[in-house]
């Protein structure tokens, strides 16, 4: 009799626990555009003002924030690990080869986080702030907007080796770049649409200089590169290591405006990076690149959809990770 009563009470206890615990876990593992409506209602305003101020002071910042977000999400997911400084316990991603001396915008996210912490302490993750900031940045320079579901949490570690391995390189064959995208759940259309991010911003001469003087060891420039652009770039990036850190616009026509000019540049052999021009020479991607060059509306729609997918890659939610008080360091 005692055993039977124990079994009944224990079963009731398990059912009660399941009833209360499972919905809690489920809800905390779902991103939601209204996630901070009650806990930090002024979040969107704080982020937008912070991004607006940053772009006003530095017209390259929209492109820099977009690149910062991509380099975060493509390495083990959108968890703000890219913002972590080196510690005695791990070497962060800031000094990985694709990021060292070129990644920008961390201080913008730090400043916004500081403002958010004053109003909503220990509430909003750096990963969510970065995701919101990118959306606002692109909107402010003429690009599309998209819904940002929130509720991400921040990583407690970073990995420089994985950043070196997972971030696509402008020197890689297109097959390699596609493989890196698909490993994150992105598809071929996402590759082409997200490459349109190169409609704004600049690239270091180091990333394309071999096209100007010694393409593939030939001792001559890349024959595909338009002669008018070649002469400009050779002037901007003289042959030699001293010019490696100099910069040139990815889109020389509308450098600071988000539009579809990037794809039109490809048609005239004015893509700056080898990975840009590869989109036009591969039959899997060329038709989409041509299409976006003629239809900015479709490019905007597809870019926005791809940004939603990218922003949801590998997110930490619920009890995973933490809400870092400062974006550059883990809470201990």
Asked whether 199 and 260 are in contact (CB, 8 A), the reply is yes
Q: Is 257 annotated as a binding residue?
A: no
Rounded to two decimals, the pTM is: 0.89
71 labelled catalytic:
yes
Longest dimension (CA), the chain: 93
Q: What 3-state class would DSSP assign to 291?
A: helix
Q: Is 170 annotated as a binding residue?
A: no
Rounding to the nearest 10 degrees, give the CA dihedral for residues 137, 141, 147, 152: -10
Q: Which of 48, 67, 69, 71 is catalytic?
A: 71
Domain ranges (residues) in the chain:
42-166, 174-307
DSSP classification of residue 133: H
φ, ψ for residue 258, nearest 5 deg = -80, 115
Q: Is 58 annotated as a binding residue?
A: no
Q: Tell me the per-residue pLDDT of 195-248, one tens digit each, with 9 for 90 and over.
A: 999 999 999 999 999 999 999 999 999 999 999 999 999 999 999 999 999 999
Residue range 174-307 in CATH 1.10.420.10: yes
Asked whether 185 and 309 are in contact (CB, 8 A), the reply is yes
Give the whole-angstrom CA distance, residue 206 versus residue 184: 27
Q: Is 72 annotated as a binding residue?
A: yes
Q: Provide the residue-wise pLDDT of the chain in tens; the chain has 332 residues.
A: 444 433 444 443 434 333 333 333 333 358 999 999 999 999 999 999 999 999 999 999 999 999 999 999 999 999 999 999 998 888 899 999 999 989 999 999 999 999 999 999 999 999 999 999 999 999 999 999 999 999 999 999 999 999 999 999 999 999 999 999 999 999 999 999 999 999 999 999 999 999 999 999 999 999 999 999 999 999 999 999 999 999 999 999 999 999 999 999 999 999 999 999 999 999 999 999 999 999 999 999 999 999 999 999 999 999 999 999 999 999 98
Q: Is 79 annotated as a binding residue?
A: yes
Cα distance between the two ends of the chain: 51
Q: Is 69 annotated as a binding residue?
A: no
DSSP classification of residue 249: E
For every residue of 259-271, DSSP letters joined together read SSHHHHHHHTT--
- By CB atoms closer than 10 A (0-12, 13-18, 19+), residue 289 is buried
CA-based nearest residue to 137, from 160, 116, 112, 154: 112
Any idea which fold 42-166 has?
Answer: Peroxidase; domain 1 (1.10.520)
CA-based nearest residue to 275, from 196, 220, 187, 213: 196
């Amino acid at each position: 009799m005692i055993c039977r009563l124990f079994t009944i009470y224990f079963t009731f206890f398990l059912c009660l626990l399941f009833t209360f615990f499972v919905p809690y876990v489920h809800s905390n593992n779902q991103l939601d555009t209204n996630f901070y409506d009650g806990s930090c209602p002024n979040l969107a305003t704080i982020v937008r003002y912070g991004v607006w101020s940053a772009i006003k002071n530095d017209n390259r910042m929209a492109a820099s924030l977009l690149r910062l977000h991509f380099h975060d999400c493509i390495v083990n997911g959108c968890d703000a690990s890219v913002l972590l400084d080196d510690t005695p316990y791990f070497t962060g991603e800031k000094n990985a080869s694709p990021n060292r001396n070129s990644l920008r915008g961390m201080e913008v996210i730090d400043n916004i986080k500081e403002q958010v912490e004053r109003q909503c302490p220990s509430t909003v993750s750096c990963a969510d702030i970065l995701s919101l900031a990118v959306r606002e940045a692109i909107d402010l320079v003429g690009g599309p907007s998209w819904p940002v579901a929130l509720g991400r949490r921040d990583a407690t570690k970073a990995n420089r080796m994985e950043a070196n391995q997972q971030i696509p390189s402008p020197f890689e064959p297109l097959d390699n770049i596609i493989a890196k995208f698909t490993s994150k759940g992105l598809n071929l259309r996402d590759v082409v649409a997200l490459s349109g991010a190169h409609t704004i911003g600049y690239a270091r001469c180091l990333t394309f200089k071999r096209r100007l003087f010694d393409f593939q060891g030939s001792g001559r420039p890349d024959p595909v590169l338009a002669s008018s652009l070649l002469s400009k770039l050779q002037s901007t990036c003289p042959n030699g290591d001293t010019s490696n850190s100099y910069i040139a616009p990815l889109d020389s026509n509308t450098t600071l405006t988000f539009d579809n000019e990037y794809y039109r540049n490809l048609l005239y052999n004015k893509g700056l990076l080898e990975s840009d021009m590869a989109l036009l020479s591969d039959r899997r991607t060329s038709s989409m690149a041509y299409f976006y060059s003629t239809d900015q509306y479709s490019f905007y729609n597809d870019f926005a959809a791809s940004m939603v997918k990218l922003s949801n890659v590998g997110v930490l939610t619920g009890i995973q990770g933490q809400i870092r008080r400062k974006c550059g360091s883990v809470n201990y």
